[in-house]
Amino acid sequence: MNPRPLALLCLLTSLAASAQDAGVPLIARELLFGNPERFRPGISPNGASLSWLAPDDKNVLQVWVRPLAAKDGAVTVTADKKRGIRSYSWSEDSKSILFAQDGDGDENFHVFQVELATKNVRDLTPWQGVRAAVLAISSKQPNVILVTANVRDRKLMDVWRISLDTGAAVVDTENPGDVSGWGVDAQLLVRAAQATTKEGGTELRVRDSVKAPWKPLITVGLEEILDFVDFTEDGRSIVIKSSISADTTRLLEKSLKSGAERVLGFSAKSDVTGLIGYPTRHGVRAASFDVDGRFAWQPVEPSMKSELEALKAALPGDFFVSSMDAADAKWIVSETSDQGPMRFHLYDRKTRKVELLFTAQPKLEGLPLAPMKPVTIAARDGLSLSSYLTLPPGKAPKALPMVLLVHGGPWARDTWGQNSTAQWLANRGYAVLQVNFRGSTGYGKKFLNAANRQWGLAMHDDLLDAVAWAVKEGVADPKKVAIMGGSYGGYATLAGLAFTPDTFACGVDIVGPSNIFTLLNTIPPYWAAMRKEFVSRIGDPENPADKDLLTKASPLFSAGKIKVPLLIGQGANDPRVKPAESEQIVAAMEKNGLPVTYVLYPDEGHGFARPDNRIDFFARAEGFLAKCLGGRAEPLPKDGKIAGSTAQVKVVAAKKP
């Protein structure tokens, strides 16, 4: 083929796209995928200090602290060298910051303590190859924390009691082998356990004291949703989310003595989506639910009604309370919006004043971000799919190139609000459709269980039905639809290209599994307690009766049917979806002479935490989609790589006929 006509066609396509997008500036990838300027603020328990995450002069996220009453004087209190800190909390005495860090994405997180007075850093969980996480802190015992860690057995998360004064750690509660979560009462005692049954269901157990035996309180099958939330302050009742006797989860308070239940919150349309508790006592005082694609709050404590109304009047976006001082006088309220960066506010409960502290990405303010519109799509069997459509500014919403952006999990969901990936795609000229396919959480047990053993089947049909809807509505050009996603969304991308090769023009897979047999046989050891639920919902690779089901659901075994280009991104240290999941389908495509580009990041895990790597991959995806769909693209640097990225790239060209 003469390359000149093809090059001319690409140029004309690019010029046409640019003409349609005239007046809409190209938003730099750095603004969308780089580090936020400030993020995740927290107020110290004594109310004196404000903390947040922000990059240092080497663009590594650190914890910063300043007096709450001051406008400047912030100092860094951590000194991470490379990966950046993404989660932290205050100690109850306001003298320390606790933060988590893993090794290049291996998810073996350690819990660190930094003393603010000296900036001395102590690894509270210095065990190699162990995953640890803070379980609970208490104002009644400010110098002690409870941590879960799999020291004794890599498959089991025991509870450890650690002194913040000395760093001394002792085993508090041993995991009997099936517990996936623990519950702690107001005295900092482990008195509840959430376990997975042999059938894949859930059992809640409680005990009267740490010396008393465990007793089953509620046992349900796989078909029900049941989650422990908290104890009440007196320890005589627990708060749970339960779908028993309803389709969606109810927020319930259940007496441990009598078994009597009191409904704290409920919506027939939505599971419980969020909670507001107390700073120093146990219990729940508000719950949120999904209302027409947006989150809405219900008060549990009567006095919260006026508080929630004041916040709703002041904040046009969806909001949640992310931090409180011990006196319960001041709150940090986080707000998300579809057409702007996340905003963080200081709320004074006495005056009801809402004061803007800062936004996460102030340089996005005023840029032409696209609205995210909630839409409902009917699946072929009548199930309603709550979805979100984002259209490119400056373009008529007719016969657009479209990206089907599939969420991970799959037991998760898309939500309304600021979404960098959706905004990036819309800015480049694509319609973006996000579908809460069956199995997505938040829509009740019927919707959740409709996905059981349906990988590559009805779950995939939902995605196809969403594409058909967009074409019928006139939004999408059926010849220019790409599929993209991470984790399960990456699987959906591979499945889309392998199972329905004529539907999509190309695909972008980020850490997606290609072979369900190898996926389930290589899950992290600390997921052992939940494995029975996984195989019950997906299929059991050790059960010969499920061999055909899982073979048909694994894109690897249909890789020869792929017709269109594929881009794959993978972290070398991913403990959930091992690099072999990407490498085996790359090998299969290479063997079949099919085009694929494989980008491996040796210092990443399940996703891309380092901004240089994140920007690098999306830059490659941007060029890939521009060639496939004809959208706009911000070019890569001349050397073909974002500075600081560790990308290792393998390009397999299509075999000439």
Residues forming the active site: 487, 574, 606
Report d(CA 82, CA 357) in Å as an integer. 27
Block residue for tokens 């006929």: 657
Report d(CA 64, CA 88) in Å as an integer. 11
Is the preceding peptide bond at 302 cis, omega within 30 degrees of 0?
A: no
Token digits of residue 294: 């947006």
CA distances from 380 to 56, 198, 450, 459 (A): 51, 34, 13, 11
CA distances from 140 to 145, 534, 563 (A): 11, 38, 62
Contacts of residues 638-644 at CB distance under 8 Å and 24 or more positions apart, as own/partner, are 641/616, 642/612, 642/613, 642/615, 642/616, 643/612, 644/59, 644/610, 644/612
SS3 helix, strand, coil % of the chain, rounded to 5?
A: 20, 35, 45
Report d(CA 98, CA 113) in Å as an integer. 5
Token digits of residue 134: 């803070």
Nearest one of 549, 564, 561, 569 to 588, comparing CA atoms: 561
Report d(CA 358, CA 342) in Å as an integer. 9
Helix axes 488-499, 458-472, angle to 10 degrees: 80
Q: CB 472: neighbour CB atoms within 10 A? A: 10
Q: Write the burial class of residue 646 (CB in 10 Å: 0-12 exposed, 13-18 middle, 19+ buried).
A: middle
DSSP-H helix ranges across 174-298 = none
Contacts of 643 (CB under 8 A, 6+ apart): 612, 637
Q: Write the burial class of residue 196 (CB in 10 Å: 0-12 exposed, 13-18 middle, 19+ buried).
A: buried
Q: Is 614 helix (H, G, I), strand (E, B) or coil?
A: helix
Report d(CA 340, CA 370) in Å as an integer. 9
Query: E-strand spans in 338-430?
Result: 340-348, 353-359, 372-378, 384-390, 400-406
Token digits of residue 347: 């709320």
